[in-house]
A = this chain, B = another copy of it.
Amino acid sequence: MKILVINPNISDSVSALIQAEAQRSASPGTEIEVATAPFGVAYIETRFEALVGGYATACLAAERYGSYDGVVVAAFGDPGLQGIKELIDVPAVGLTESSLMTAATLGQRFSIIAISPRIKAWYRETVERSHLASRLASIRALDEPLRDIGSVQQDYSERLKVLCNQVVDDDGADVIIIAGAPLAGLAREIRDELPVPIVDGVASAITQLEGLIRLAPKKASKGSFTQPPVKPNRGLPEPLERLLGRELSGGR
């Protein structure tokens, strides 16, 4: 099977982190392709940036439609994910949705570790969209300006471990979610030093998407996840226009 992993941001260094963890997490026989957003910002922290990233992600998913068996939206906050689920006929997952589902299976309450204070509101609203906010113990974040988005893990590893211990000791988390693609792979590094299960968004997403692809769920032909109705449109990138304008004919 082939999985398209879309980085909704323009940072190649983050794409490299995503790619590495995706490869480490994939089953033998799974092919991983990582695509980086052609437009947008370096990393998403706000609702506005998510709007841009969501549109860029949808454009990429449409552009490469037909070449993959499933899509990962590889930014915490899942920009564009629900829209993309409508658009295509193979499974799509996001880092937040996958992390929440994995965490919900490993414990009752979970906390999120994030890379900046600004990002917390956007993350909380993402969790609310899944209706799991009442199981969210806390969100804690690094609180200094990031030196380099590609080396957050190295630059702040000690501080990140402190935050992880705080959410367990002070906030009552049963599970820790390490949020955000810039931290992809960190969970694997520090898991033995922490007292509870720790969830990596990329690893969760790849694992769950492989499972979904094997379950092969049918594309909805009724309800709110069918393809958007055919109707007049204007000024859209050609791949989007093509996908919107005709019946889907299935995956790769």
Contact = CB atoms under 8 A, between A and B. Distances in A.
B172 A232 contact: no
Given A83-B48, A228-B48, A235 B40 contact: yes
Contacts of A219: 197
Nearest to A212: B105
A104 interface: yes
B40 A107 contact: no
Interface string A162-192: 0000001100111000000000000000011
Contacts of A210: 211
A180 to B, nearest CB: 14
A207 B240 CA distance: 32
A58 interface: yes
Contacts of A226: 118
B83 A232 contact: no
A231 interface: yes
Interface of A: 10-11, 25, 27, 38-43, 45-52, 54-55, 58, 80, 82-87, 91, 93, 97-98, 101-102, 104-109, 118, 120-122, 125, 128-132, 134-135, 168-169, 172-174, 191-192, 194-199, 203-204, 207-208, 210-212, 214-215, 217-226, 228-229, 231-236, 240, 244
Question: Which 8 pairs between the two chains have the least Cβ-Cβ distance?
Answer: A39-B235, A121-B224, A48-B83, A195-B222, A197-B217, A207-B211, A55-B55, A51-B83
23 contacts: A11-B232, A25-B215, A40-B234, A40-B236, A42-B233, A46-B83, A48-B58, A48-B84, A49-B83, A52-B236, A52-B240, A54-B55, A101-B101, A106-B217, A107-B223, A108-B225, A121-B174, A168-B223, A172-B223, A196-B218, A196-B221, A196-B223, A208-B211
